Amino acid sequence: MHAPMTIDIHAVEALDRDDPLAGFKSRFDLPEGVTYLDGNSLGAAPRAAYAEIEKAAKLEWGHDLIRSWNKAGWFALPMTLGDRVGRLIGAAPGQTAVTDHTSANVYKALHAALGLNADRKVIVAECESFPTDLYMAEGVMATRPGTVMRLEGVDAPRIEDLIDETVAVVLVNHVNYKTGALRDMEALTKRAQEAGALVVWDLCHSAGALPVELDRCNVDFAVGCTYKYLNGGPGAPAFIYVAKRHQEKVSQPLSGWWGHARPFGFERNYDGGAGILRFLSGTQPILSLRALSAALDLWDEVDMAAIRKKSTALTDLFIKLVEARCCAHGLKLVGPRDGTVRGSQVSFEHEGAYEIMQALIDRGVIGDFRAPATIRFGFTPLYTSFKDVWNAVDVLHDVMETGAWRDARYAVRSAVT
């Protein structure tokens, strides 16, 4: 599924006709007149999620009340949903739990890795990491005297050059949140482990966007969110993966009652549960978990190889069209041109990036802005069509050609962009 060299609207429509994933779009609630290219920040709502939430709220909460913890399977949701997410990230059952948020799970995973490598005091991370990962690493360091952090882009140009026998853990994003650059998971994991280090992979921008093979790559830990490509809803719980080989030797510091071996024994001292269970902490947000369950019902039907094929075709088409129609206006591609090393997003730099994105949003094309000068577009293969790409570039061309982005009202920045 690749765009032909000569691209016109008829060629684009032909790509949609041949798209094996095209039928999924009608199962999402997308507003008329909107081209949504921000699913890498917040995924669209699956229509089935509304009924699932209503059932959980009106029947299970409203009628069955506390009985639903057992009757409706509420208590087991972090584990049952974890295995379903696990299928999408290449994890065998019993290694993934849906729980808490990504920041908390980064904190747990880093502490766990440092505990397994207690004689080492170095965390390696990326200067261009999504900020919460670095913030949580700083928090972990504050509780472990002598622990230091080395950063790719500050202490060395390549993360591989920072890994030696002093490194306890490498914290790394599978897909760069700004540029879309995709890391080689297998190669970097092997490099770290050969030096005796463990690896925590952040999958926030790859889970649901491309095939991930945690078990095959011998990954130690992974975390990620479910509200982007997985369409779990705003603030949906995140997930954490812990390889089975580590589970009985590892501990994490947020030792709440849900992670206890006998949570209803109400014992005074903590005794961590078996396996991945010990990575749970407190009571889970059931309505959010049920929304995610509805989204995963849809994902149960999806072949991740088909997702990747369409994702690459969508992003390739977007780059070709933008560069063909808008290159005279100073837009510069950032991130990989080669689709095999790119996630499911494309970014361009421009001095007026913020204003350009606001003008696009005003015209019904929703992407996002990342400081200081990046406009970013996410391509979610389940509900993004090739015609959506064509329409988005049409609007971008108009915004640039007419200079509409220079309107003074677009210079007023909001907290959420």
Catalytic residues: 130, 202, 227-228, 376
User: Is residue 97 within 8 Å of residue 280, measured between CB atoms?
Assistant: yes
How many C-beta neighbours within 10 Å does residue 246 have?
16
Residues 35, 33: Cα–Cα separation, whole Å: 7
Question: What is the distance between the alpha carbons of residues 255 and 272, in angstroms, rounded to a whole number?
Answer: 7
Listed residue (295, 235, 240) closest to 48, CA to CA: 295
Strand extents, DSSP E, 313-393? 332-334, 345-349, 365-366, 368-370, 374-378
Strands 122-126 and 148-152: parallel
Helix (H) or strand (E) holding 199: strand 198-202
* 51 exposure class (CB count in 10 Å sphere: 0-12, 13-18, 19+): exposed
Cβ proximity of 344 and 381 under 8 Å: yes
For the purposes of burial, counting CB atoms within 10 Å of the CB of 301, is it exposed (0-12), middle (13-18) or buried (19 or more)?
A: exposed
Distance of CA 332 to the CA centre of its chain: 24
- Identify the sign of the CA torsion 273, 279, 283, 287: negative
Q: What is the DSSP string of 272-336?
A: B-SGGGGG--S---HHHHHHHHHHHHHHTT--HHHHHHHHHHHHHHHHHHHHHHHGGGT-EEES-
Provide the token pair at 263: 């949570």
- DSSP label at residue 40: T
